[in-house]
């Protein structure tokens, strides 16, 4: 790291805030993405079908969740 001069604190603070903001945003987006994928997988496992899914889904034995 070269000598950042008398105002090194400001430079590091600027890069630091940027890093925190970007990482925070990325984590929020990726976490939301993972959560939706998980929820979708759960629902598909339970046999709920999307109305527009058509014949694309593999055939599954229909499991009755409640008797």
Partner 1 sequence: MPSLANPTRFLTLVAAVVPWLTALTAILFATGLYLAFFVAPPDYQQGETVRIMFIHVPAAWLAMFGYMLIAVASLGTLIWRHPLADVAAKTAVPIGATFAFITLVTGSLWGKPMWGTYWVWDARLTSMLVLFLLYLGLAALWQAIEEPGRAGRAAAILALVGVINIPIIKFSVDWWNTLHQPASVVRLGGPTIDPSMLIPLAVMAIAFTVLFVVLHLIAMRAEILRRRVHAMQKTQVEHAALAGA
| Min dist. Cβ of residue 56 to partner 1 (A) | 8
CA-derived radius of gyration, the chain: 24
Torsion 11-17-20-23 (CA) sign: negative
- Structure-block tokens of residue 56: 């694309």
> What residues line the site for partner 1 (CB under 8 A)?
1-8, 10-11, 13-15, 17-18, 21-22, 25-26, 28-30, 32-33, 35-37, 39-40, 43-44, 46, 48-51, 66
Least separation, in Å, of the C-beta of 62 and partner 1? Answer: 11
Closer Cβ to partner 1, 5 or 59, answer by number: 5
């Amino acid at each position: 790291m070269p000598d950042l001069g008398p105002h090194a604190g400001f430079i590091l603070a600027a890069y630091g805030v940027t890093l925190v903001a970007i990482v925070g945003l990325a984590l929020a987006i990726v976490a939301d993405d993972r959560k939706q994928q998980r929820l979708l997988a759960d629902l598909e496992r339970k046999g709920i079908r999307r109305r527009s899914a058509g014949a694309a889904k593999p055939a599954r034995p229909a499991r009755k969740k409640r008797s």
